[in-house]
Structure 1
Amino acid sequence: MNASLIRTLTVCIVAAFALGACGGDMDDLDQYINSVKAKPGGRIDPLPEITPYEVFTYLADAEGLRSPFVPDSPQAAAGIAAGGTRPDPERSREFLEQFPLDTLRMVGTLKLGETQFGLVQTSDGLIHRVVPGNYMGQNDGRIVVVSESEIELVEIISDGIGGYLEREAAVGLAD
């Protein structure tokens, strides 16, 4: 026997068994359908009344108001972006600036002479010494104070409209 004949016979036998499973005994299904149809239908609540939409036309120009979709003035927008606080692109990056601030942990302090160092642990377990003036975190965080309980820093973050803001942050002593 060749392979195509065997394949054809196999398909025919499987089809015969599949069709044989489809019996005409559907009395239980008919009984269920009749019992569902015999139940009284439920009451459907009426649709809520829809209030008509009131059209509002914003006439900023006619009333002398500024449009909320246009910047105050091009000069003001340029002034915000051009002046003020900015990250220094020429400054060489320090090692702890490659880590997000929330992954750095203060694990202690060390005092040598008059200098107090903060001990910061990175996510890979290494401990680094920092002093005021060092940078850490990915937002140009400049350390301003190292105390026994925390390291305070000032980060430079984008304000979303082309400028930058200074934001205070701190890394507390880990428990």
Structure 2
Amino acid sequence: MTRKGKVMQLAFAFGAAALLAGCGDGDVQEVRDWMKQVERETVPKVKPLPEPKEFVPYAYHPGEAVEPFSEAKLLGEMARMAATSTDPLQPDDSRPREVLEHYPLDVMRMVGTLQKGGASYALVQIDTQIYRVRAGQRIGQNHGMVTRISEGAIDIRETVQDPTGDWVERKATIELAESKETGK
């Protein structure tokens, strides 16, 4: 082995010995004593729990009050909420209804379209009557408005109440009815 190799080996041995000397017990006992002292002197501060509130059951007498799950109570509450609502989608019930607002959409059949004066109209049949419908016109019993008329369908935007009483918009369509003679 060369002299340089021996020096390196000796330096390595001293370094390892120095590292091992640092791993001794040292001040560990001092730290343990301090931790025990702090543990003895520490007193936890816990607020006492408040006294529980007294539960007073509600006495329900069926003959004297409205049934809690009755439809009348639900409808009354929905009417009260609707009267105080500031929902922008809520329809105006005070405006006069148009003729086609008295019929549900499922009794209407689109039987054709026509162009007059640059405007598109759809022809809707209810029973034996034919009605001319244009975009922007009110239709159906769910506050519907015709949004678009194409060759094959009438697109409608309805405003209805969801189960929570909020007013929401939904889309509906009346498609062109097939003719029995032509099969179209």
TM-score (norm 2): 0.50
Verify: 1:138 aligned to 2:141, yes or no.
yes
Unaligned runs of at least 5 residues, structure 2: 1-80, 179-184
Displacement of 1:133 in angstroms is 0.9
* Counterpart for residue 164 of structure 2: 161
* 2:93 aligns with one of 83, 89, 92: 89
RMSD (Å), alpha carbons: 1.9
Report the 3-state secondary structure (helix = DSSP H, G, I; strand = E; otherwise coil) of the residue aligned with 1:87.
Answer: coil
* Counterpart for residue 126 of structure 1: 129
Displacement of 1:148 in angstroms is 0.6
Displacement of 1:108 in angstroms is 0.2
Report the 3-state secondary structure (helix = DSSP H, G, I; strand = E; otherwise coil) of the residue aligned with 1:82.
Answer: coil
Q: Where do 4+ consecutive residues of structure 1 move more than 3 Å?
A: none
Determine which structure has more spread, i.e. the larger CA radius of gyration.
2
Displacement of 1:90 in angstroms is 2.3
* Counterpart for residue 63 of structure 1: none
Displacement of 1:83 in angstroms is 2.1
Contact kept? 2:122, 2:149, Cα under 8 Å: yes
Displacement of 1:136 in angstroms is 1.0
Alignment partners' CA distance in 2, 1:172 and 1:128 = 15
Report the 3-state secondary structure (helix = DSSP H, G, I; strand = E; otherwise coil) of the residue aligned with 2:151.
Answer: coil
Contact kept? 1:142, 1:155, Cα under 8 Å: yes
Alignment partners' CA distance in 1, 2:157 and 2:176 = 17
Report the 3-state secondary structure (helix = DSSP H, G, I; strand = E; otherwise coil) of the residue aligned with 2:159.
Answer: strand
Alignment partners' CA distance in 2, 1:156 and 1:146 = 19
Number of equivalent positions: 97
Report the 3-state secondary structure (helix = DSSP H, G, I; strand = E; otherwise coil) of the residue aligned with 1:165.
Answer: strand
TM-score (norm 1): 0.52
Contact kept? 1:154, 1:169, Cα under 8 Å: yes
Alignment of 1:1-175 (within 5 A): 81-122=85-126, 124-175=127-178
Displacement of 1:82 in angstroms is 2.9
Contact kept? 2:87, 2:167, Cα under 8 Å: no
Question: Which structure has the higher relative contact order (CA within 8 Å, separation 6+)?
Answer: 1
Alignment partners' CA distance in 1, 2:167 and 2:133 = 25
Displacement of 1:99 in angstroms is 0.8
* Counterpart for residue 15 of structure 2: none
